Amino acid sequence: MDKSQPENLKNAGLKSTLPRLKILGLFESGQERHMSAEDVYKLLLSTGDDVGLATVYRVLTQFEHAGLLVRHNFEGGKSVFELNEGKHHDHIVCLQCGHVEEFYDTTIESRQKKVAAELGFEVHDHSLHIYADCTKTKCPHKPRNV
Amino acid sequence: MDKSQPENLKNAGLKSTLPRLKILGLFESGQERHMSAEDVYKLLLSTGDDVGLATVYRVLTQFEHAGLLVRHNFEGGKSVFELNEGKHHDHIVCLQCGHVEEFYDTTIESRQKKVAAELGFEVHDHSLHIYADCTKTKCPHKPRNV
DNA sequence: ATGAGTGCAAATTTTTTGCAGGCCT
DNA sequence: AGGCCTGCAAAAAATTTGCACTCAT
């Protein structure tokens, strides 16, 4: 977890470039675990790191293929990425604001496998998605950037 | 369940028109429970019922708002619709071909509520999504129409 | 130097919207 | 008749791709 970023990129067979280091750095900073391409792009702009949006998309996809990031398509239309830290977990997503929380529940895990088997499916490592609302009245999280 | 389609539309406050009847008919025929706008559009074309793609999108959205259909955004990018028959159920989706199966598991339901509550969420009626593979070797279902 | 990487603009894909004309009630 | 509906084309939103130029090794 303390491996320097250039090393991470090398191991992934990717050349160590500024855009890649910046983007990986954002995810490793832990500020925001789940980000869309647009989120990353705007964050970089806000810190003066001018990276093209197309490059953000390309790098995110490369990182996904390299196993550094995991891509999710939650309800809402845009792809969301998170650091691949090896430990399996599921996600619960707010339908109002898009906020994402992670969880791991052994009962759900085993039950999920059972249900899948009965229906002729085999669960591998993909996250299960629960969709809900942060609260019944008003959503405490930031409004979904649609 | 045997209510005539025009009646269903009337009850939803929608004028009974040919495109609407055709589209609702497709879902009620039970041939294919889960369809994207493109799926519906192509099916209608194949049966000689020429309906504009824009109309398909508009009608599907209207039906969703009227509570006749439910919209899902599974991994894969496109919205998928299914008839709203009132009975809650969850979905397991094949990551290879996009095939969808429905299920209902009381253990998962209760556990889902518990997990949500612990994380400050409230689950209403939205489907939970499990993502898996039809089989480990080759997918028996139709290839995903990407 | 040299091929991978980047930025910009144009192209794709999925979905929405404006507008003129057409069909329910 | 009057307005909701539809079709077509253009607009939007998210993502991908072509191309000339730049940077890492």
Query: Under CATH, which architecture does the B87-146 domain have?
Result: 2-Layer Sandwich (3.30)
Average pLDDT of the residues of chain B: 90
Bases of chain D below 7 A from a protein C-beta are 4-10, 13-18, 23-25
A90 is in an annotated binding site: yes
> Min CA distance, B9 vs chain A (Å)?
27
Contact A120 B103 (CB under 8 A): no
Q: Which CATH number fits domain B1-85: 1.10.10.10, 3.40.50.300, 3.50.50.60, 2.40.50.140?
A: 1.10.10.10
- How much is the pLDDT for B145? 55
Q: Identify the residue whose Cα has the smallest distance to the C1' of C25.
A: B15
Residue B100 contacts residue B33 (beta carbons within 8 Å): yes
- How much is the pLDDT for A141? 74
- Residue A6 burial by CB count (10 A; 0-12/13-18/19+): exposed, middle or buried? middle
> Min CA distance, B47 vs chain A (Å)?
30
**Nearest nt (C1') from A76 Cα:** D14
For strand C, list residues 95-124 of chain B whose Cβ lies within 7 Å of it. none
A 10 A CB-CB count for A119 gives: 15
- How much is the pLDDT for B137? 63
pLDDT in tens, B63-103: 999 999 999 999 878 899 999 999 999 999 998 888 899 99
Residue B146's pLDDT band (boundaries 50, 70, 90)? very low
Q: Which residues contact A46 (CB under 8 A, 6 or more apart)?
A: none
Which residues of B fall in the annotated binding site for Zn(2+)? 94, 97, 134
Contact flag, residue B15 CB and nucleic strand C, below 7 A: yes
A 10 A CB-CB count for B53 gives: 14
- How much is the pLDDT for A146? 47
Residues in chain A where the model's pLDDT stays below 70: 1-4, 136-138, 142-146
DSSP result, A61-84? HHHHHHTSEEEE--TTSS-EEEE-
**What percentage of chain B exceeds 90 in pLDDT?**
75
Task: Provide, as residue numbers in chain B, all residues whose Cβ is less than 8 Å from the Cβ of A110.
Answer: none
Residue B2's pLDDT band (boundaries 50, 70, 90)? low
- How much is the pLDDT for B60? 97
Contact B121 A132 (CB under 8 A): yes
Contact B115 A130 (CB under 8 A): yes
Sign, CA torsion B84/B89/B95/B100: negative
Please report, rounded to whole angstroms, the spatial distance between the CA atom of protein residue A52 and the C1' atom of nucleotide C8. Answer: 8
Residue ranges of the domains in chain B? 1-85, 87-146
Please report, rounded to whole angstroms, the spatial distance between the CA atom of protein residue B54 and the C1' atom of nucleotide C19. Answer: 14
User: What is the count of residue pairs from A and B with beta carbons less than 8 Å apart?
Assistant: 110
